Every structure is written in C-alpha cells, then in structure tokens.
Amino acid sequence: MDKISTGGCMCGQVRYEVRGPLRDVICCHCEQCRRSSGHFVAATACRKSNFRLLNDSTLNWYSVKPGLRRGFCGACGSSLFFEPLSGERISIAAGTLDQPQGLKIAAHIYAAEAGDYYRIDAGVPVAADGIHVVPLP
C-alpha cells in the first residue's frame, strides 16, 4: 500500500493528499523564494500523478514567470506549492505537512542569493541551481 501524506494551509481551507513517496527537502535561497516566504523555502516534492487537492476553495496561484506558478491560500496567506507547469513535479512547502514524515534536508540551492542574516549548514550539499538536485522518488 502506498504511503499517504496529508497537509494544508494554516486555516484549513486548502487541503491536499499525496499517495506515494515524498522527496527529501530542498532549501531554496533564491530571492523569489525569500520574498514569498520571508525566509528561505524548505520544500519537499512529489509526482503530480500522486498529488490531489482535497479542498481548494481558497487556493490562489501567482505566476512567477511564464511556465511557473506558486500556490497560496487566499484566506490565511499560507505559501503552499511551487509548480513548473510543464513538468511531472509539484513542490510542497514542507511545513504544511500534517505529520512528521521522516524527511531530511538533502540540499541547499541558489545559496549565492541567501540572505546575509543566516548561515547555511556546512554539512548539507549546496548546488549552484535547482535543476535535478535531488530526483523524485
């Protein structure tokens, strides 16, 4: 039987389910992620075919640039998803998962754009960009 993970926004008006494995967490330090979250973004991911919205009544999408979008709750403002429209992956803000999932930080990306007020853990790999850093399970 596939593992089932659930999660959602702070107010509960956006809920999702993932049937199958989640990728370990990647921390993105790019300026867009920092501005949208207030810090770096820690995200897991899954195959779109394993992802299902259970309630999306307040889900809004913001297009970062053509072909990419970010999902957030229009009621409470929680940042939830990052999705390249032409791929097989949807990234999920790790903090929106309901239960501890046993995930770990696998890599840091766009570290050159990191804020100057924090340090990146030297024990975790750093990649120059986010392309295929950690493959989907």
Domain ranges in the chain are 4-115
Q: Residue 129: its pLDDT value, please? A: 62
SS3 call for 65: strand
Whole-number pLDDT of residue 132: 54
Question: CA-to-CA distance for 69 and 90, rounded, in angstroms?
Answer: 10
Which pLDDT score is estimated for 128? Answer: 66
**Are the CB atoms for 90 and 43 separated by under 8 Å?**
no
How many residues in the chain? 137
The proportion of the chain whose per-residue pLDDT surpasses 70, expressed as a percent, equals 95
Strands laid side by side in the 14-19 sheet: 4-8, 14-19, 51-56
Split at pLDDT 50, 70, 90, the class of 82 is very high
Residue 85 has pLDDT above 70, yes or no: yes
Question: Which CATH code for domain 4-115?
Answer: 2.170.150.70
- What's the pTM value of the predicted model, to 2 decimals? 0.91
The tens digit of pLDDT for each residue in 21-48 reads: 999 999 999 898 999 899 999 999 999 9
User: Amino acid letter at 131?
Assistant: I
